[in-house]
Amino acid sequence: MDHHVDIDVQPDPEFPAYQLMGAVYAKLHRALVAQKSTRIGVSFPSVDARAPHLGTRLRMHGNLDALSALLANDWLAGTRDHVRLTPPLRVPETAQHRAVTRVQVKSSPERLRRRLMRRHKLDAQEASRRIPDEAACLANLPFVQLRSASTGQTFRLFIEHGPVRANAISGDFNAYGLSQVATIPWF
């Protein structure tokens, strides 16, 4: 991971920044799926841990070949008026590293009960006993609102930037540019 590309969402009076970031990130996800890429990771350098959104900058990390191949496709079509894109730039030698991961939150006991009832042929009373309302977990993490290509349902993709560390950990990234193990350069 020796190069990066920054995508900055530009202010727009008609669309809030978080909505534009969601559109850009959804397009990136589709491009990574189409390319079957596991070598490009993402981070959000302007993320504010106190706010529920990821900021206005999406940074893609990878080697020059992987980033150039991604940029060769016109996957940002329709959003070019709303973003500013840098060419691939070298990562500073002073960069530290961190993992950027997806956090799945079990926030809806009702949904979990319905699933339990379907899978184990239980009635509503037994499902409520097994999964009480207190089982809900709430996340205070930034997220992006996406729509599933397979189900058409919208969902929140919660993203966590792990602790900063001195050494890189190599590995693969998923179709969202996230990894539970691999790190990205942080600067």
Burial 48-64 (b: 16+ CB within 10 A, else e): eeeeebbbbbbbbbbee
**Structure-token pair, residue 129:** 């006993």
Which of 29, 53, 97, 161 is catalytic? The answer is 29
**Structure-token pair, residue 185:** 């350069």
Catalytic site includes residue 61: no
CB 28 within 8 A of CB 83: no
CB 95 within 8 A of CB 158: no
How far CA 182 is from CA of 9, 38, 137, in Å, comes to: 26, 11, 26
DSSP states along 109-165: HHHHHHHHHHHHT--HHHHHHHS-GGG-----S-EEEEE-TTT--EEEEEEEE---B
CB 14 within 8 A of CB 33: no
CB 171 within 8 A of CB 83: no
Active-site residues, by number, are 29
